[in-house]
Amino acid sequence: MAAAVRWNLLRVLRSQAASPPIRFSLKDRSQCYSLWLAQKHRILQQSENKQILVRCLSILTQDTPNPRSLKFLPGKPVLGTGTLDFPTSSSAECSSLAKNLFQVEGVKSVFFGPDFITLTKIDDVEWMDIKDNAVEVITKFFESGEPVTTGVTHPENSVSEEDDDIVSMIKELLDTRIRPTVQEDGGDVIFKGFEDGTVKLKLVGSCTGCPSSTVTLRNGIQNMLQFYIPEVDDVEQVEDEVDEINMKVFTEVEQKLKDS
């Protein structure tokens, strides 16, 4: 039985081998080539469309509690992690994006977050005069593929071996409960120290000069820290010495422009 099956299979194979190869007519080959070209064109067209979609950047804006600050959402990572504050144009040497945004008339300060950019304006300029120009600057920058910054960001307040239990708990609460909420409003809170029961914090981004920053500091941050950490007696807002000097210089220049 097995021998008969093998014999029949051998006959089929021999008959296929003896038959002439299948040849397409010139017309059929032309049609096949045309179909191949059409398919290739569709693939290339789809690829081009995908590239166009990648290049098309939709930037959204979001109001913050500070009427002088506006949050820009490019829909892609800005810093990825951490934050970076540029209170004046002279502090923006490490970022071409920040420098270009300072060229927009009316921009007072620039702040980068993980996935957003916060701009703070001077009082005499309306947002409608700033928004379109800022969106254009941000769009062109992300299309260029340049790095956002070469500077050091404000990382998460990671606990170090030198921190005692109280400081470790303060940093943990800031990172997990407070900073994410503040960043949603376009700002950030940076831990600067803990001394004699007082937590020293620096407010940046939209929190700078915000009318409700004192309320946020006292009713929000201080109450939460005191609830979980009884050793906390007070929360104090501080500024770096460099920031104070930059702000003083900016205020003097702004006053001269108003007087001229």
What is the average pLDDT across 197-209?
A: 86
Homologous superfamily of the 165-245 domain (CATH): Fe-S cluster assembly (FSCA) (3.30.300.130)
Q: Amino acid letter at 119?
A: L
Could you tell me which residue, 187 or 39, shows the higher pLDDT?
Answer: 187
In which band, very low, low, confident or very high, does the pLDDT at 160 lie, cut at 50, 70 and 90?
confident
The yes-or-no verdict on residue 200 having pLDDT over 80 is yes
Give the pLDDT confidence of 230-244 residue by residue, as tens digits: 999 999 988 765 444
3-state DSSP assignment of residue 118: strand
Sign of the C-alpha dihedral, residues 116, 121, 127, 133? negative
The yes-or-no verdict on residue 158 having pLDDT over 80 is no
Give the pLDDT confidence of 101-123 residue by residue, as tens digits: 999 999 999 999 999 999 999 98
Mean of pLDDT over the chain: 76
Q: Give me the residue spans of the domains in the chain.
A: 60-144, 165-245
3-state DSSP assignment of residue 73: strand
What is the per-residue pLDDT for 219? 74
Q: Where are the alpha helices (DSSP H) in the chain?
A: 2-18, 26-55, 96-102, 131-144, 165-173, 179-184, 213-215, 223-228, 241-259
Fold for domain 60-144? Ribosomal Protein S8; Chain: A, domain 1 (3.30.1370)
Q: 239 is written with which tokens?
A: 């500024």
What is the SS3 string spanning 164-201? CHHHHHHHHHHHHHHHHHHHHCCEEEEEEEEECCEEEE
Residue 50 to residue 45: CA distance in whole angstroms: 9
In which band, very low, low, confident or very high, does the pLDDT at 133 lie, cut at 50, 70 and 90?
very high
